[in-house]
Amino acid sequence: MNRVVEMTVYGAEQLCPSCVNLPSSKETYEWLQAAISRKYPDQPFKITYVDIHNPPEDEEKKDFAQRVIEEDMFYPVVLLENEVVGEGNPKLKTIYNEMEKYGYKPE
């Protein structure tokens, strides 16, 4: 593995209108963190949760949070190295495939 990748999960407390019966954005963030840690033990990665209605001062994160709202994206929206890899109900297989492009090895 070459470097620590950054994953950002954008979401909100309230479920998106089209995401009824799905876990909340925060639950998805916690689930992803646990699943990725199990799949790639001892391979560090950074995962951050961003509330789209209360984003941090970081301009890049603030801008993308605004984009999620303006474009009516299905959240949570999962970014890996600033590329969208999941929206609404992210698929682990897709995220794993993207992580492996950065040198992560399943164990």
Confidence of residue 30 (pLDDT cuts 50, 70, 90): very high
With respect to residue 11, please indicate whether it lies within any of the assigned structural domains. yes
Give dist(CA 86, CA 91) in Å, integer.
Answer: 7
Give dist(CA 43, CA 38) in Å, integer.
Answer: 10
pLDDT given at position 19: 66
| For range 63-73, the mean pLDDT | 94
With respect to residue 37, please indicate whether it lies within any of the assigned structural domains. yes
With respect to residue 1, please indicate whether it lies within any of the assigned structural domains. no
pTM of the complete model: 0.92
Q: State the residue range of the domain holding 57.
A: 6-101
| Residue 22 pLDDT > 90 | no
Structural domain total, the chain: 1
Summarised one tens digit per residue, pLDDT across range 1-15 is 567 999 999 999 876
Give dist(CA 41, CA 35) in Å, integer.
Answer: 10
pLDDT given at position 107: 86
**Hey, what are 17's tokens?**
């209108």
> Three-class SS of residue 23?
coil
| For range 68-86, the mean pLDDT | 93
Q: What is the CATH number of the domain that holds 40?
A: 3.40.30.30
Contacts of 23 (CB under 8 A, 6+ apart): 31
| For range 33-62, the mean pLDDT | 95
